[in-house]
Amino acid sequence: MKNVLVSGCNGAMGQIICRMIKEDPDMKVIAGVDLLNTSIGNFFSVASDCSMVPGKTANKTEVIIDFSSPKATSALINFAQSWEIPLVIGTTGISKEDETKMEDAAKVIPVFYSKNMAYDVCVFKRILEVAVPLLKGTDIEIAEEHHRRKKDSPSGTAIMLAETINKILNNEMKIVYGRTEKREPNEIGISSVRGGTICGTHTVKFIGENDIFEIKHTALSREMFAEGAIKAAKFITEEGRKPGLYTMDDLF
């Protein structure tokens, strides 16, 4: 049984992960960290920078799953590296500087990072690898929709899809967020909608002169992201797993 520390345990995703781990015979939550100094279930919550985690708890922690905030994640990377604890990061809105910090930490510990933990989004990327070369003469637009409480915009998944498309097209495209002017050639546009309790929808549109080709993914429950994170945690704690930066492509 793997001992898990959940970062962001009081958030919507954190609570789902804690519940799902409780139902998993191979894993156990031994601690949680969050901005709120309160307790959930049968484990404790401390400051999100991990500064209050007792050494005996850190020593027992075998993997960390993080769905917190970019600021908390930045501190968490340092904590995980110093205690040599494998780390799964599902937090969105991570800066380029912290991505570099992940790469440095991955020289010491296994780090699993994805802007979207859902398996279906990995399938989405594979579909794009086939579709984009066939539809490269069209105007490409990405639309994403999320609940009103989501802090980052555009979503990390939308950015990941745009970067995937751009890479397929030899990085010749310009990514435009929230278009306010006339479309120019060689652009990939990203637009965002925030409202209600939308779990997450991503649509890539290939708009031609006479037709529109769409690829769309709609998340119906946050459990799909928690399931992916738990699989990632099991993956990076497998016996013999070496330090390195892992993604959904390694998992599936």
Cα angle at 32 between 30 and 35, to 5 degrees? 165
Using the 8-state DSSP alphabet, how is residue 242 labeled?
A: P
DSSP, collapsed to helix, strand or coil, labels residue 237 as coil
Catalytic (active-site) positions: 146, 150
Q: How far is CA 114 from CA 65, 90, 214, 232, 250, in A?
A: 12, 6, 24, 10, 11
On whether the CB atoms of residues 65 and 6 are closer than 8 A, the answer is yes
130-167 exposure pattern, b = at least 16 Cβ within 10 A, e = fewer: ebbeebeebbbbbbbbbeeebebbbbbbbbbbbebbbe
- Amino acid letter, 8: G
Q: How far is CA 24 from CA 29, 230, 251, in A?
A: 10, 9, 19
Give backbone dihedrals phi and psi of 181, rounded to 5 degrees, phi first. Answer: -135, 175
Residue with tokens 């954190």: 14
